[in-house]
Amino acid sequence: MSRRHYNLPPLTTLSAFEAAARHLSFKNAAEELSVTPGAVSHQIKALEGELDTTLFQRKHRGVTLTEDGTALHEALSSSFGRISKVLSSIRDRKSGGKVTVGSTTAVAALWLSPAVIRFWREMPDVNVDQLSQDRPFRDRPDVDFFIRYGRDSDPTLSHTPLYRDHLVPVASPEVAKRLTGASLQELAAERLIHLASEDRSWTTWPEWFQQLGHTGTLPIESRVNSYSVALQLARKGAGLALGWQRLIQPMLQSGKLVVIGPHHLSAPNQFYLVGRPDGELTDSARALKDWIIQEVQDSSV
């Protein structure tokens, strides 16, 4: 009779295997678990030895799951998901209903923060933590969901479409007045504020011009790594920013920025609410998620 009540291998081996199977990478699993790839490999070899089977096919450019590995990963993923849901419920009760939502700094400033304030007026007992960063949200178990442009590469995450935006050149009122009716060639000759982002899904100035048929080269005279900074520079008359029309609507309505017509482009990707499946969200997290979706639908009417 096994001394282990559930006859399970050591949980460290199962944790290492689940992470490696989810990433299909010992290296990425090691980064998530804050250990070395060698430590992950050692744990998986120990698990394979205990089960007397091969869980991964080691290849020159990575690993793939065997039939036994696939079966074990499906079981662990489902079980860990249920455990995560119970733990979230416990934390939710202890923390007074905390929800953590992520976004870029621009999304937070222009749309999410005002939406959260309106949410609090309806549900003041729910505590909302906002996490703003201009880099992809990777391996953040503390985040319930985040707003993202384009789909995330993690297939285990739930994706709820929000809306598709339109891309337009924007500038200060004075600059926009001077460029009223300007051609693509004339716009290309202006100082363009380029956004340098880790997330390659965001449409850039060169891609915008190319999609509209402009084939000339674009000088890069100004580059920033924050969309909020790009908008502020444009607002101060320092150049043209590529405006996500719906996202920056508050700045357009206030007259701080003005669209330079008539050129516009439908964004290649949609904005999504990305995160844990609904079944793994706490009641508070689901309430905020439903609120955000309803806010988007109401603003589309």
pLDDT digits (tens, 9 = 90+) for 261-280: 899 999 999 999 999 888 88
Please indicate, yes or no, if residue 1 is contained in any of the structural domains: no
- Helix pair angle (37-51, 26-33), 10° resolution: 110
Domain range enclosing 247: 166-266
- For the chain, what is the domain count? 3
Please indicate, yes or no, if residue 96 is contained in any of the structural domains: no
| 50 and 128 together in one domain | no
Calculate mean pLDDT across residues 237-247: 93
User: Whose CA is closest to 263, among 189, 170, 174, 191?
Assistant: 170
* Secondary structure of residue 265 in the 3-state scheme: strand
Kindly report the number of other CB atoms within 10 A of residue 71's CB atom. Answer: 12
Dist. CA 19–CA 273, nearest whole Å? 24
Q: Which CA distances in Å does 196 have to 5, 75, 120, 290?
A: 53, 41, 34, 32
Please indicate, yes or no, if residue 280 is contained in any of the structural domains: yes
Dist. CA 93–CA 176, nearest whole Å? 52
| 81 and 129 together in one domain | no
Percent of the chain with pLDDT over 70: 95
Please indicate, yes or no, if residue 177 is contained in any of the structural domains: yes
| 280 and 149 together in one domain | yes
pLDDT in tens, 91-149: 666 555 688 999 988 899 888 999 999 999 988 888 899 998 877 787 677 889 999 98
| 231 and 290 together in one domain | no
pTM score: 0.64
| 75 and 218 together in one domain | no
